[in-house]
Chains A and B, each alone.
Chain A
Amino acid sequence: MAGFLDNVRLPECECIDWGERRNAVASIVAGVLFFTGWWIMIDAAVTYPTQVEMNHAFHTCGVFSTLAFFMINAVSNGQVRGDTYGEGCFGRTGARLWLFIGFMMMFGSLIASIWILFGGFVVPKKDVYPGLAVFFQNALIFFSTLIYKFGRTEDLWA
């Protein structure tokens, strides 16, 4: 009973050769997610232009998410592990600190967007679309960051 699904296998997807193209596919998927997030927010800002319908301060979350995206992707995994050539200004510890702050900003923006959705739109029973837009913008930027950061390999000598 415990292992009765062990022999069930999904059909192998042989059509796509992931090896060579993995980095390119990851970059493209990350790009689609990131910019779709921003266009959702632009759409919400255009269709709900007044301060009452959507407080303009809610754009801050997206800005911090974007800043976090660039911070997280500015350091390569090699620099965090410590196996690159130059020491740089702060070395490996600096790279780790930079990455830490970047991830904190990213998680903070995501949590803030969820808070905005529920606290600013669901609970006061306003039209919820701008709140959903803020949430989706930050969630999409978050996933885009993860895919761009971890979906690419850095095999230098492949």
Chain B
Amino acid sequence: MAGIKALISLSFGGAIGLMFLMLGCALPVYDKYWPLFLLFFYILAPIPYCISRRVGDDTDSASNACKELALFLTTGIVVSAFGLPIVFARAEVIAWGACALVLTGNAVIFATILGFFLVFGSNDDFSWQQW
């Protein structure tokens, strides 16, 4: 176990990121809940990489293509999570201030997810029984 401290700081990071997202929605001056659609992207983001970890490693050559496709899709989900608030703000569905708060929350949450994979994901035989 890579440490309780890492776990706590990652969960703190996640809470701060979600806080920024909720601030962007719930502050009385904004009061538009459209950015909550980003939660969908936050949940989807780790999935391709997790699938490639489970499905891959059958043969050394084939697993790479799966991992690369997973990286491609994950990058796409991250870009989409940054693009959606910007498109919302340009369409004047939300205010630009709300967009800025939501983008900050995005950055923190994706840094948290990345940190989670770096800290907890890097053991060679990644088996679910560990948990």
The stretch of B10-18, B32-40, B74-82, B102-110 in contact with A is B74-82
Q: Kindly state the separation between the CA atoms of A26 and B60 in the bound complex, as whole angstroms.
A: 19
A36 touches B90 (CB 8 A): no
* B61 contacts across to A, CB distance below 8 A: 154, 156-157
Please report which residues of chain A, range 84-105, place their CB below 8 angstroms from some CB of chain B when the two chains form the complex.
none
A46 touches B91 (CB 8 A): yes
B86 CB–A CB distance under 8 Å? yes
Chain B 79-113 near chain A by CB (<8 Å), digits 1 or 0: 11001001100110000000000000000000000
Q: Is the interface of A mostly helix, strand, loop or mixed?
A: helix
Q: How many residues in B have their beta carbons less than 8 Å from beta carbons of A?
A: 20
Q: Kindly state the separation between the CA atoms of A67 and B65 in the bound complex, as whole angstroms.
A: 19
Number of A-B contacts (CB under 8 A): 58
B87 touches A31 (CB 8 A): no
* Residue of A with least CB distance to B64: A23
B71 touches A39 (CB 8 A): no
* B83 contacts across to A, CB distance below 8 A: 35-36, 39, 42-43
* A157 contacts across to B, CB distance below 8 A: 61
Q: Kindly state the separation between the CA atoms of A126 and B32 in the bound complex, as whole angstroms.
A: 33
B75 touches A28 (CB 8 A): yes
Nearest chain A CB to B4's CB is how many angstroms away? 30
Q: Kindly state the separation between the CA atoms of A23 and B66 in the bound complex, as whole angstroms.
A: 11
B87 touches A27 (CB 8 A): no
B120 CB–A CB distance under 8 Å? no
Q: Kindly state the separation between the CA atoms of A156 and B63 in the bound complex, as whole angstroms.
A: 11
Please report which residues of chain A, range 130-158, place their CB below 8 angstroms from some CB of chain B when the two chains form the complex.
148, 152, 154, 156-157
Nearest chain B CB to A73's CB is how many angstroms away? 9
A35 touches B68 (CB 8 A): no
Chain A 16-51 near chain B by CB (<8 Å), digits 1 or 0: 000000011011101110111001001100110000
A46 touches B71 (CB 8 A): no
Residues A39 and B72 in contact in the complex (CB < 8 Å), given A46-B87, A46-B91, A47-B90? no
B73 CB–A CB distance under 8 Å? yes
Across the interface, B79 reaches (CB within 8 A) one of A23, A31, A152, A154, namely A31
A23 touches B68 (CB 8 A): yes
Interface of A with B (CB < 8 Å)?
23-24, 26-28, 30-32, 34-36, 39, 42-43, 46-47, 76, 148, 152, 154, 156-157
4 smallest beta-carbon distances between A and B, as pairs: A31-B75, A39-B83, A35-B79, A27-B71
